[in-house]
Structure formats: C-alpha cells, structure tokens
C-alpha cells in the first residue's frame, strides 16, 4: 500500500508548523487567543484547497459582509490570476459568475429552440452572509479552458478582530511549498516544461533546447504550470517556504 504523504503548513498567527489535518483544530484556539480589543466584526473562517491538487491549501478569515466578488478577487490575487479569465462560484447549485451582469445582455433571439445558452446565472456582488452558512461546502472555478477548481468550506463564524481595520482578508494558515524532484536528477525542481509537464531544476532547465520559451516557474499554487501562470503579482502574498525538518 503506498505511503500517504502528509501536507504541512504554517500558522500565520503564531508561526508554528502543523499538519493539514490538525491545522483547523489549532486555529480554532489560536486565532481568538491572539485577538486584541480592536474593531469587532462578524467573520467567516474558510478552508480552501485545490480540488485536484489538495496539497495546496489555505485557511482565511473574511468579514461576512464581504461579497463573493471580493473573495474572487483575493483568490485571483493569491493563487490564480494570469490572463484575466472568467470565474464562477457554485453554491447550493447556483452559479455566481464574474460576468453575470454582462451575460444578461446576450440573450439569443431564437425562442423555442429548447436550450438556454448561458443557463441560470447570478452576480458575485452578493454578501457572503446571504449565500453561505457555517458547514457549507462550495467550489470556485477560474478559467473555463485550462480550469483551476478550488474546494471551499465555511469552517465557522465568530465575532472578532477584523483584518486591516475592518477591510480585507486575513490569511490564517497556508501550505508549505511542495518539494517536487527534477525529472533529470532528482534535486528540487524550480521549473516546469509545460509541453509534457516535466519538472526540472535550474541547471537542467537551462540545458534544455527549449529553454526558456517552453518553461514556467513552479510556484506554490494549484494553478502552477497551467496556462501562463507564473505566480502572484503581489509580493506580500508570495509564500515559497518549504516545511522545516521534522522536530524543529
């Protein structure tokens, strides 16, 4: 039976390292313990992971009065944005699209054909508290060509210290960057040859006949290697640390 790989991450509140399957319990105690007497708001704790790449995961707090559009903007900023693709949340069977308002202007003038070209769509400009409750699971898709799909859950809600004076998203925890071996030598890879998704270290990537045109950097995101994604544009959201040795 194959050995199951344990994913580790860093608590951004206390700085300690935890396994993915224990970080939620830790945060339930650590986060309120580090609150101050600052501005208090209703907050949602969300867990987020790559649907097909669960080794990439996040825990965040976001004010419940923030909109799906604001959450979409955060996900794009930290993990997804490459070419301005469309995106959508699916919650309780309803699709909340990044361009739902524009789609309403494109109804086809062919009644009676038995299909709806765009289906039932809703705008992302709706507060989280109106469409989500603790325990709810939902999904997010970015780019409907080379799609990156995320699985999200509302872990809990609480009254607590709001990030950035009541605005924005607070990152509670995040996975350490996976160590992916070079396909040529086994050392840690930093590049992906996207013609066949082969990882390469710096040395072997630079020796490749198609360097650098057919290479993308391996980054700590479930979108790594897809489309033209080469990482977040925001320096404050870069997190490429690897897990410390067990026992540190």
Q: Write down the pLDDT at residue 36.
A: 77
What's the pLDDT score for residue 116? 39
* pLDDT at residue 220, as a whole number: 98
Query: What residues in the chain have per-residue pLDDT under 70?
Result: 1-4, 37-38, 100-120, 163-167, 246-248
- Other beta carbons within 10 Å of 149: 15
The domain limits of the chain are 8-175, 178-218
Give how far Cα 153 sits from Cα of 12, 46, 237, Å.
19, 6, 21
Pair 152, 47: CB distance under 8 Å: yes
- Among residues 60, 85, 94, 92, which one has the least CA distance to residue 74? 60
In the three-class reduction of DSSP (H, G, I as helix; E, B as strand; rest coil), residue 158 is classed as: strand
**CATH number of the structural domain 8-175:** 3.10.290.30
């Amino acid at each position: 039976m194959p050995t199951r790989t344990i994913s580790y991450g860093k608590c951004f509140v206390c700085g300690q390292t935890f396994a993915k399957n224990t970080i939620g319990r830790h945060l339930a105690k650590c986060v309120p313990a580090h609150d101050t007497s600052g501005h208090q708001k209703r907050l949602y704790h969300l867990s987020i992971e790559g649907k097909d790449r669960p080794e990439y995961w996040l825990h965040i707090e976001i004010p419940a009065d923030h909109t799906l559009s604001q959450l979409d903007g955060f996900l794009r900023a930290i993990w997804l944005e490459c070419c301005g693709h469309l995106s959508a949340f699916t919650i309780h069977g309803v699709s909340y699209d990044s361009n739902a308002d524009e789609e309403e202007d494109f109804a086809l003038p062919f009644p009676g054909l038995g299909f709806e070209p765009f289906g039932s769509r809703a705008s992302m400009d709706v507060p989280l508290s109106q469409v989500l409750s603790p325990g709810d699971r939902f999904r997010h898709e970015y780019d409907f060509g080379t799609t990156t799909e995320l699985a999200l859950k509302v872990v809990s809600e609480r009254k607590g210290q709001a990030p950035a004076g009541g605005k924005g998203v607070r990152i509670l925890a995040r996975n350490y960057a996976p160590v992916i071996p070079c396909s040529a030598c086994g050392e840690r890879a930093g590049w992906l040859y996207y013609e066949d998704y082969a990882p390469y270290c710096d040395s072997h990537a630079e020796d490749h006949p198609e360097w650098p045109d057919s290479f993308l950097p391996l980054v700590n995101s479930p979108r790594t290697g897809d489309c033209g994604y080469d990482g977040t544009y925001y320096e404050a959201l870069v997190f490429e640390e690897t897990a410390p040795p067990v026992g540190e």
